[in-house]
Amino acid sequence: MGGKDRFTRSQLHKNDDKKGVERMGTTMDKVVSLAKNRGFIFPGSEIYGGLANTWDYGPLGVELKNNVKKAWWKKFVQESPYNVGLDAAILMNPKTWEASGHLTNFNDPMIDCKKCKSRFRADKLIESNIPADQIPGPVDGLDFQTMQQLIEEHKIKCPECGAHDFTPIRQFNLMFKTYQGVTESKKDEIYLRPETAQGIFVNFKNVQRAMRKKIPFGIGQVGKSFRNEITPGNFTFRTREFEQLELEFFCKPGTEKEWFQYWRTFGFDWLKSLNIKEENLRLRDHEQEELPHYSDATTDMEYLFPFGWGELSSLSSRTDYDLRRHMEISGQDLQYIDQNANERFIPYVIEPSLGADRVTLAFLTDAYEEEKIDEKDSRTVLRFHPALAPYKACVLPLSKKLGKEARDIYGKLASHWMVDYDETGSIGKRYRRQDEIGTPFCITYDFDSKDDGKVTVRDRDTMDQIRLPIEELSDYLSEKITF
């Protein structure tokens, strides 16, 4: 619906020129189009004309995303000697957001120039136009009235057109509000969580005690978060409802730098181990002035999307900011007691979190390839790591007459993995269909199979075929798929 202009090439070029980024081969509109056609990602609420920037994961998309989440959980929780899991509620006591700073810092003061209609952040405007010594305190701590006064007193001009004719400052709250209980009265106002991290922090003591964890240890959680972004966009890259792969790692103050390095490498290796192309990845350390208020070091892991470099993860060293704030607001003691050293301290936190939808999109984009086979033949193929592929295999009878036997094989494999079955069209066409959804193996049952008990296994990437006894299929696939 109305997708005609979505990521057209001219717009991409415009975007690319601006960011000085070029990514040959894959364009976003092709990925979006394949995603919709093949059941990966559909526009949300489409029959009602859609709802801005909502996307629904289709049958293949949910497999892909679930596989991403599983692969993350496996490496960050299951196989980690340090970490345990959690699934906290989306709705939390509003005091949580007072402690986390979201109630104050998620309120962006926006101001519009009435003359040229440009929009600015009032705090940035003040920062860049008024000498620091004439500003009463840090800019992000000022209330709106003070900001308004400063802009008036210093006759700040619009950076675009030079006029001094601004609208009043308006507040953009990035948190989704809702109401607990059936009456919409003010006191029942609560928020959908803008990050999963706080669910972990408020459970720090519970988890530590219940699991008898010693520092250092981490708590991982996968879940949805909600932010009223002013400008979402770029397909599933920035949406108002999104899923996070969150890990909060608690360590002793003084050891945070080495753990920062540890998780920095760990996260990067995780992506590489799932076959993401290294040339499309980069780590970007934040400059001091770029750092968020809660962090003393931050490194973004970025992926080169067709629309430019985009942040997949923000590894951040959060000091004791979060637990300290929760101690202040809740009045509870969240200090860790080290019995051996007879010490008591607020742990420092390293947060190597990823955006689940972003990582999924990166894997999808990275896997996409239009391969030229010869002069007049080409194919579209998604080269997913087998652990991420929605279907691990597809069973194909060479002829419909062999359907019964092929279905038996399908049934056996389906008890282990997501497996597809297809008997329509020529064998070549069916291979191409599976290439396009990234199925790593196609298993063809032919006229000899009944006699020799063997089938052909065709590899997605090399298109090579081997012949294998039917009873060895499970072991063969199992070995290839393991992550």
Q: Which stretch binds RNA (CB under 7 A): 71-79, 273-281, 355-363, 468-476?
A: 355-363
Task: Indicate the SS3 state at residue 219.
Answer: strand
Cis peptide, bond prior to residue 352, ω within 30 of zero: no
Among 24, 182, 341, 373, binds RNA (CB under 7 A): 373
Task: Indicate the SS3 state at residue 331.
Answer: coil
Distance CA 398, CA 445 (A): 6
Handedness of CA 268, 274, 278, 280 (dihedral sign): negative
15 is an interface residue for RNA by CB under 7 A: yes
Among 216, 306, 355, 390, binds RNA (CB under 7 A): 355
Q: For residue 223, which of 237, 207, 241 has the smallest C-alpha distance?
A: 241
Residues 6+ apart with CB under 8 A from 391: 60, 63, 417, 418, 419, 420, 434, 437, 438, 439
**Least distance (Å) from RNA to the CB of residue 54?**
7
**Least distance (Å) from RNA to the CB of residue 94?**
20
**Least distance (Å) from RNA to the CB of residue 171?**
12
Under rule CB under 7 A, which residues in 98-157 are in contact with RNA?
108, 110, 112, 117-121, 124
Under rule CB under 7 A, which residues in 304-333 are in contact with RNA?
307, 311-314
Under rule CB under 7 A, which residues in 208-227 are in contact with RNA?
227
Amino acid at 64: L
Enclosing H/E stretch for 459: strand 454-459
Separation of CA 128 from chain center: 33
Among 83, 234, 317, 365, binds RNA (CB under 7 A): 234
239 is an interface residue for RNA by CB under 7 A: yes
Among 29, 248, 320, 366, binds RNA (CB under 7 A): 29
Q: Which stretch binds RNA (CB under 7 A): 1-9, 86-94, 198-206, 340-348?
A: 1-9
Nearer to RNA, 51 or 337 (CB): 51
Among 5, 287, 375, 451, binds RNA (CB under 7 A): 5
Q: For residue 323, which of 227, 245, 252 has the smallest C-alpha distance?
A: 252
Handedness of CA 38, 458, 362, 76 (dihedral sign): positive
Q: In the stretch 411-450, what mask flags binding to RNA with x, by CB under 7 A?
A: -------------xxxxxx-xxx--x-------x-xx---
201 is an interface residue for RNA by CB under 7 A: no
Nearer to RNA, 29 or 248 (CB): 29
